[in-house]
Amino acid sequence: MVVKSNRRVFGPFGTKEEGNYFLVPSNIGKIVGFFGSYDPYLTSVGVYVEPTDHFKSFGPFGGDGGAYWDDGTYTTIKRITVVSESVINSIHIEYDNNGTLVSSTKHGGSGGGTADVVDLDYPDEYVTSISGYHGRNLSSAVVQSITIKTNRRVYGPFGVEKGKDFSFPQTEGKIIGFHGRCGDHLNSIGGHLEPTSSLYAVKTIGPFGEGKGYLWDDEVHSAIKQIRITHGAFVSSICTEYYNDDGLSKWSKKHGQDLEPKMSTIKLDYPDEFPTSVTGYYDSINEMNDYSFTSLTFQSNRRTYGPFGREFGKRFSFPSFDGKILGFHGRSSGYLYALGAHIHPISDPTPSKSFGPFGGRDGDQWDDGFYTTIRQLVISSGSIVNSICIEYDKNGQSIWSSKHGQSVGDKTYTIKLDIPDEFLISTSGSYSSANSGSTIIESLTFQSNKKIYGPFGTGSGNKEFSLSSISYGKIIGFHGTCSDYLHSIGVYLKPIPMSYQLETCKPCGGQDGNVWDDGFHTTIRQLIVGVGSIVHSLQVEYDKHGRSMWCGRRGYSIGGNKYMVSPL
């Protein structure tokens, strides 16, 4: 038996970890009593649990200057106003407390800048996380950028993304209050979280494999950062780095030993990527019919990692439902004999994201929200884009937006999509300043998963924008600003799960050398190939959400010629 408190672990008590494993989850509350049976030994045990306060506080993140403030906790958040320049000057929050509006004081100084207002679709929409950057501004550390994420969309970033990044919380729930420090600027920010009821719906699967070795359990954490596997003919060990509720990461114990020659590390793109399932094979490792894993393959919501080892023997796979792996358990000694997982079911692993708007800040703000898909678009344009109107589909029902801008263009164009098979995946265009000084959209082009529509307008603007390099997904709504013309436009994008698009092709060549893996990105910008009598090296420049990312050189530069391949 092992007893765990909120501070430490006691045990194990007893000499053998055999038989059927049981676990009272550590996240349900405070144990205040025991019950069970004995005859004459202890044959069963149960517990009485008093639920603990389920509110959790995170942070604050940033500097220690200014005065401390704490808004406390409320039912939900209705509106957030962020004033920013190169740093966050101030933040103001409007809460709902059982139907009563409660307005916080302004946290920060009276400096000017851009005031962005986040109006939540109360009560269905709520804040789930805050991320951003903090660093030094003159003599004090301040928050330089904030991004607000809800259960429906992403707002921001507000400010300038530079300095040290932060994010909270690392567990799922609803932010119901803020705290932090402020003076002339916002020095730090943290949150009070009410975990959602689904947080406790963790299912334990397995373990699968052999009932030999010592029983171990990493328990449930907030997220998985990376997994390290030692393998060769068999899988001899596994070690996992987890994120906890405090935002800090910690490695588990190594389960098994480094008895095989290869070590592979899976680095997940936290927080957007998480493991969803594990498959593998196990077989006898000696004449005594002791079984160990011959290979393991890990599937995330984006891609497949592995197989690590050789695929032979008896196959296993878990889980059989959509979920997010938050911890592993199993058996091991010299080798890894059994493996299972703690899994948090998720209803929709790909929530919508908001991008833009691109263009100017002139005119009135409009926001259509998001729907199931888009049926058609009506665009009025001449030398510029005068207006746009969209017909959405919401679970089979037609919903028309209002007209954004005025129909005074030379021509009106209609894009009718062949739903449900056809959907929009990107929007691009150009904008510039008019004689009046306001910024207007001069051209728009729409791309579906089947064809390209446009451009509409002249396209002579001196600034271009494109959403095509952000992520492959489905546009399900628009937002922006307008007056007599269309001044700016942005989209709501529902990412299409990458696990259904990407295929991993096994490397062609030998088994020697060090294993490398660049992961996957939005696209490839260029390749540099070092060639002599053989191919000496390869180096790739990737594009990730519009940013250049160079991988390390794979191989060595030992003379010969270098060739550049640029597909863009």
- Mean pLDDT in residue range 508-518: 70
Percentage of residues of the chain with pLDDT beyond 70: 80
- What element of type H or E holds 342? strand 336-345
Taking 70 as the threshold, does the pLDDT of residue 454 lie above it? Answer: yes
**pLDDT higher at 286 or 89:** 89
Per residue in 390-449, pLDDT (tens digit) is 999 987 788 999 999 986 767 899 999 988 878 998 898 898 887 667 889 999 999 988
Q: Specify whether the CB–CB gap between 458 and 384 falls below 8 A.
A: yes
- When mean pLDDT is compared across 374-378, 417-421, 497-501, the lowest value belongs to 497-501
Give the pLDDT score at 255: 95
Alpha-carbon distance of 429 to 361, in angstroms, equals: 16
Give the pLDDT score at 16: 61
Strand bridging mode 154-159 / 9-10? unpaired
pTM of the model: 0.39
Give the pLDDT score at 90: 94
- Mean pLDDT in residue range 245-271: 89
With bands split at pLDDT 50, 70 and 90, how would you rate the model's confidence at 322? low
Alpha-carbon distance of 159 to 157, in angstroms, equals: 6
With bands split at pLDDT 50, 70 and 90, how would you rate the model's confidence at 209? confident
- Mean pLDDT in residue range 120-148: 87
**pLDDT higher at 438 or 514:** 438
Cβ-based neighbour number of residue 544 at 10 Å: 15
Give the pLDDT score at 456: 92
With bands split at pLDDT 50, 70 and 90, how would you rate the model's confidence at 502? very low
- Mean pLDDT in residue range 239-255: 89
Only one residue has tokens 């299912």, namely: 203
Taking 60 as the threshold, does the pLDDT of residue 283 lie above it? Answer: yes
Per residue in 42-62, pLDDT (tens digit) is 777 777 665 555 577 888 899
Per residue in 459-497, pLDDT (tens digit) is 666 788 876 544 457 899 999 999 988 999 988 888 765
Give the pLDDT score at 535: 82
Alpha-carbon distance of 563 to 431, in angstroms, equals: 37
Alpha-carbon distance of 180 to 68, in angstroms, equals: 6
Taking 60 as the threshold, does the pLDDT of residue 524 lie above it? Answer: yes
Give the pLDDT score at 469: 41
Taking 80 as the threshold, does the pLDDT of residue 192 lie above it? Answer: yes
Give the pLDDT score at 319: 58
Only one residue has tokens 């676990």, namely: 23
Smallest CA-to-CA distance from 370 within 495, 481, 545 is with 495
**pLDDT higher at 395 or 131:** 131
Per residue in 1-40, pLDDT (tens digit) is 777 776 566 777 776 666 666 676 545 566 767 766 666 7
As a whole number of Å, the CA-based R_g of the chain is 27
* Alpha-carbon distances, residue 421 vs 322, 449, 472, 550 (angstroms): 24, 9, 16, 36
Q: Specify whether the CB–CB gap between 32 and 52 falls below 8 A.
A: no
Alpha-carbon distance of 390 to 211, in angstroms, equals: 60
With bands split at pLDDT 50, 70 and 90, how would you rate the model's confidence at 498? very low
Give the pLDDT score at 370: 85
With bands split at pLDDT 50, 70 and 90, how would you rate the model's confidence at 295? very high
**pLDDT higher at 435 or 370:** 370
**pLDDT higher at 156 or 516:** 156
Q: In what order do the strands lie in the sheet with 127-137?
A: 154-159, 140-150, 127-137, 164-168
With bands split at pLDDT 50, 70 and 90, how would you rate the model's confidence at 314? confident
Q: Identity (one letter) of the amino acid at 457?
A: G
- Mean pLDDT in residue range 359-383: 89
Taking 80 as the threshold, does the pLDDT of residue 226 lie above it? Answer: yes
Give the pLDDT score at 499: 38
Three-state DSSP class for 392? strand
- When mean pLDDT is compared across 114-128, 328-342, 517-531, the lowest value belongs to 517-531
Domains of the chain: 3-52+509-565 (2.100.10), 56-196 (2.100.10.30), 199-345 (2.100.10.30), 353-495 (2.100.10.30)
- When mean pLDDT is compared across 135-139, 346-350, 429-433, the lowest value belongs to 346-350
